[in-house]
């Protein structure tokens, strides 16, 4: 029962929180990634995941962390995005990593195009007082890529071994 509750709620809820946090504040707190890492370890133990499988999942997370921080060092992604992607890869493993990255790229590109169009339009007065909207509307502002990362993760997650392990 506890295993099902963790498997069905923790990952999706944390992804939803990361997306909304990035949308509203343009930051993804470290605690989000830490919750994902802790949740993965707890669920791996509770479901009896083999040490080899855990190692492969850790490898996927470490690989994406290295790539993410390389991208961060060039200023192409935010640090929170890099950590969120790595923590997500930990849950998905190599088996679903390519799908995740493909969907994240597609969603991120679409989000970027929408924001470019949004920034070309004048901001309606009714929205002008909202700090998070003004931040999104600011020309040359960043892209809350955590939204794309979370959407991709939620699209891939139902196809993972976690759902099979929960009997779903």
On the question of pLDDT at 153 being above 90, the answer is yes
Distances (CA, A) of 43 to 37, 82, 114: 10, 23, 37
| Range 60-99 burial, b when 16+ CB lie within 10 A, else e | bbeebbebbeeebeeeebbebbbbbbbbbbbbbbeebbee
pLDDT tens string 9-19? 999 999 999 99
pLDDT tens string 75-96? 999 999 999 999 999 999 999 9
pLDDT at 129: 82
CA 145 to chain CA centroid, Å, is 8
Mean pLDDT of 101-121: 96
Nearest CA to 89 out of 78, 72, 74, 103 is that of 103
Element spanning 72, H or E: helix 51-73
Q: What is the mean pLDDT of the chain?
A: 93
d(C-alpha 18, C-alpha 38), whole Å: 16
Total number of domains in the chain: 1
Residue 140, domain extent:
2-165
Element spanning 136, H or E: helix 131-137
């Amino acid at each position: 029962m506890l295993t099902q509750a963790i498997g069905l709620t923790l990952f999706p809820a944390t992804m939803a929180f990361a997306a909304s946090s990035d949308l509203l504040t343009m930051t993804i707190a470290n605690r989000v990634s830490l919750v994902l890492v802790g949740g993965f370890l707890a669920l791996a133990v509770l479901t009896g995941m083999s040490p080899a499988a855990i190692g492969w999942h850790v490898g996927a997370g470490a690989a994406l962390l290295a790539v993410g921080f390389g991208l961060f060092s060039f200023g192409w992604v935010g640090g929170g995005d890099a950590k969120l992607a790595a923590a997500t890869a930990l849950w998905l493993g190599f088996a679903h990593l390519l799908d995740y990255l493909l969907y994240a790229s597609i969603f991120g590109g679409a989000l970027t195009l929408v924001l470019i169009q949004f920034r070309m339009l004048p901001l309606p007065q009714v929205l002008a007082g909202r700090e998070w909207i003004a931040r999104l509307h600011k020309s040359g502002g960043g892209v809350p890529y955590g939204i794309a990362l979370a959407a991709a993760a939620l699209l891939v997650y139902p196809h993972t071994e976690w759902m099979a392990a929960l009997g779903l």
